[in-house]
Structure 1
Amino acid sequence: MASDEKKILLVEDEKAIRDVVAAYLDHENYIVRGVGDGQSAVEEFEKHSFDLVILDLMLPKLSGERVCRAIRETSNVPIIMLTAKGEVEDRVIGLELGADDYLIKPFSPRELIARVRALLRRAHTETEPQLEVLDFGDLVIDISGHKVMVEGKEVDLTASEFKLLTTLARYPGRVYTRMELVEKVLGYDFEGYERTIDSHVKNLRAKLGDDPRNPRWLYTVHGVGYRFEAPQADDKAKAAKAKAE
């Protein structure tokens, strides 16, 4: 499958694994830059432009968590985290730092390639041009431009967060189960999926400034999942009046 020469930063300290993964990516016509420690990863990312990062969690010199945090300070490039840790809490921490996906070692290189394709497709494919802009007053979602504005200021979202928000916002009032959101946002199911969606919602709320105790847009439906609510016209008018005053 052609990759349109997408550039991938592969960060893995075990040379045998790095070589195998790089070979699979190269076979798919991706341009791969492989490094073996966290410090080199940050330096490479600062010097070059990448379309996706495959990031090991346990690295010398600089941990995968710190590398992920450093990348997220300047970029929303899709990140797949590789980890030998199987505990759900460890995976959740990676997602809360801004990773879009994770794989637990040992993993199948073919599964990794499938997830790379899925993330790149979500990040770069145009979606439903007939609904290019969703305008909810203080929240504006420019789908074709892949931009989100809150009170006139642009908010940086990861590919997964943007997909999650647009999935919910297209149908205000509709309740999505966590399983439905996994299928629509992540494209596949895996162990711990409910915590995965919860982590993405938590990150999204923080970036939108949407307090879960008094939500404006994202509502939790306990025991089920989540729904998006568009502010009513009178609520918009009250907000506009309050700003004017």
Structure 2
Amino acid sequence: MTAILLVEDEPAVREVTATLLRHCGFVMHTAATPDEALAVVARHPIDILLTDVYLLGHSDGYSMTRQLRSQGWKGRVIFTSGDPDAIDAARLEDEDAPFLPKPYGRNMLLEAIRELERS
């Protein structure tokens, strides 16, 4: 089973997305901040990081991903954002990482995850 860490600072989005992915059979972990995410990765094997680019009042999803990589995490990343300009920055950060514009739908999210599982 694929383990996903969802890093999202908006509680409603975090809860709905995590519930959807659990019902689809994924092992889900959630975090509201980069610090929480780092703690989750230290305790659990994570295959896919699904992170908002801009995390209110905290470092961004890019910085958090770089920090995880520097600590040896080798999983895959999906970046999300409601800011359409974030897609260009996401491509510069990790050209292989999918970018999902918010609001993303169930099918779009599942397709991005399945694509990472296949690659």
TM interval, short-chain normalised: 0.7 to 0.9
Aligned equivalent of 2:82, options 84, 95, 100 = 84
How far apart are 1:32 and its partner, in Å?
Answer: 0.2
2:54 aligned with 1:58: yes
Q: Which residue of 2 aligns with 1:102?
A: 99
Please, what is the CA RMSD of the aligned residues? 1.5
Q: Which residue of 2 aligns with 1:49?
A: 45
Q: Which residue of 2 aligns with 1:75?
A: 73
Segments of 5+ residues of structure 1 without an aligned counterpart are: 123-245
What is the CA–CA distance in structure 1 between the aligned matches of 2:106 and 2:15, rounded to whole Å?
11
**Ranges of 4+ aligned residues in structure 1 off by more than 4 Å:** none
Tell me the secondary structure at the aligned position of residue 74 of structure 2. coil
Matches within 5 A, 1:19-168: 19-59=15-55, 60-73=57-70, 74-87=72-85, 90-98=86-94, 100-122=97-119
Tell me the secondary structure at the aligned position of residue 22 of structure 1. helix
2:21 aligned with 1:18: no
AA at the equivalent of 1:7: A
**What is the TM-score normalised by the length of structure 1?**
0.45
Instruction: Give aligned pairs, total.
Output: 116
- State the Cα deviation string for residues 51-90 of structure 1 (Å, max 9, x = none): 1110011113332121111122223311000111102xx3
Matches within 5 A, 1:176-195: none
Bigger Rg, structure 1 or 2:
1
8 Å CA contact retained: 1:38, 1:64: yes
Q: Which residue of 2 aligns with 1:136?
A: none
What is the CA–CA distance in structure 2 between the aligned matches of 1:68 and 1:32, rounded to whole Å?
18
What is the CA–CA distance in structure 1 between the aligned matches of 2:44 and 2:66, rounded to whole Å?
17
**Identity among equivalent pairs (%):** 25
**What is the TM-score normalised by the length of structure 2?**
0.87
Segments of 5+ residues of structure 2 without an aligned counterpart are: none
Structure with higher RCO (Cα < 8 A, 6+ apart): 2
| Cα gap change, 1:100 to 1:118, in 2 (>3 Å) | same
